[in-house]
Amino acid sequence: MKVMVFDVGGTEIKYSVMDEQMNRFDSGSVPTPQDTLAHFLDTIYALYAPHKDEVDGIAMALPGFVDANTGYVSNGGALLYNTGTQVGQLVRERCGCRVTLENDGKAAAIAELRAGALQGCCNAAVFIIGTGVGGGIIANGQLVRGMHFTAGEYSFVNTNADEWENTEKTMACQCSTKYLLKWYRARKGLPADTPMNGKLFFEAANAGEPEALEVLERFCRMVAVQIYNLTVLLDVEKVAIGGGISKQPLLLDDLRRVYAGLFASRGESPYMIGLPRCEIVPCHFSSEANQVGALYTYLQAESKTI
């Protein structure tokens, strides 16, 4: 059996034809429509149509508050045109096949728990750095979705109670690739619309450019503080970092160093005694974790109907 798998991000839609053993027979990416739901549905159909005779159905991971049982999206996150929409049903009607939906961060957590970096963990978390900040929480060996399917939506976490009205004091604006690149443009004195991506940034950072390293240090501190908070709240054993820039060894090395420094900076404070420290690891499936988790969701749903 083969399935058409979509990882819908705020910037691009990645797709693959995959079988039950996670083998890929076709893959690619296209820009994510930014304007309308109709354009989004047309794009999905255009990618699906050439493969409709060889696949059993569609497995999709996408941003927002996603009810994996019904396919209803109560908040579209980076794709606001999906808000309040039965996306699963609409894709099913447009493509004429079976469709399952899962939140992108939760899909990554499923993949890492089932066959990746979080296998065997009791409490753990996935932290996906992209256009926003997605993720998934594992508690007692199970994915936590929450009553309203918002568990693990780190983008919405406020980072400063003294500036509640400042919408940039959120994890979406302090721990995302989008803002890493925004800070880098500002530090270099470049126009806000200067073309920039993670590859270009890390080329500069890996070459030892002072401005890039300064921005990376700031970024890693923002992320490390939130990993510290996850450690305190959930006593997580591991946090797996995903997203395109997670492939950069420099990011993981700096993040681990800064995270350890948070504890060291408080010295011998008695309040820190016994406080756990988690292991920071890259997602095993890297930027493909969302697709792998979406496929697992599809296969699990199918097994329940047999």
Residue type, 54: E
Name the CA dihedral angle for 279, 280, 285, 290, rounded to a multiple of 10 degrees. 110
Residue 122, classed as helix, strand or coil, is: coil
Cβ atoms of 123 and 236 closer than 8 Å = yes
For 255-294, write each residue's pLDDT tens digit: 999 999 998 887 667 777 788 899 999 999 988 889 999 9
Domains with residue ranges and CATH for the chain: 2-107+288-305 (3.30.420.40), 120-283 (3.30.420.40)
Neighbouring C-beta atoms of residue 241, cutoff 10 Å = 25
- pLDDT band, very low/low/confident/very high, at 306 (cuts 50, 70, 90): very low
Cβ atoms of 293 and 102 closer than 8 Å = yes
Cβ atoms of 239 and 124 closer than 8 Å = yes
Model confidence, pTM:
0.90
d(CA 142, CA 44) in angstroms, rounded, equals 31
Strands (E) located in the chain: 2-8, 12-19, 24-31, 57-62, 65-66, 73-75, 98-103, 124-129, 133-139, 142-144, 238-242, 279-282
For 169-181, write each residue's pLDDT tens digit: 999 999 999 999 9
- pLDDT band, very low/low/confident/very high, at 305 (cuts 50, 70, 90): low
Residue 194, classed as helix, strand or coil, is: coil
The per-residue pLDDT for 134 is 87
- 182-186, 288-292, 295-299, range with the lowest pLDDT: 288-292
Q: Tokens 């800064």 — which residue?
A: 258
For 94-119, write each residue's pLDDT tens digit: 999 999 999 999 999 999 999 999 99
Q: What is the mean pLDDT of residues 179-191?
A: 97
Q: Tokens 């919405």 — which residue?
A: 156
For 11-67, write each residue's pLDDT tens digit: 899 999 999 999 998 999 999 999 999 999 999 999 999 999 999 999 999 999 999
d(CA 127, CA 152) in angstroms, rounded, equals 9
Q: Tokens 């002072």 — which residue?
A: 210
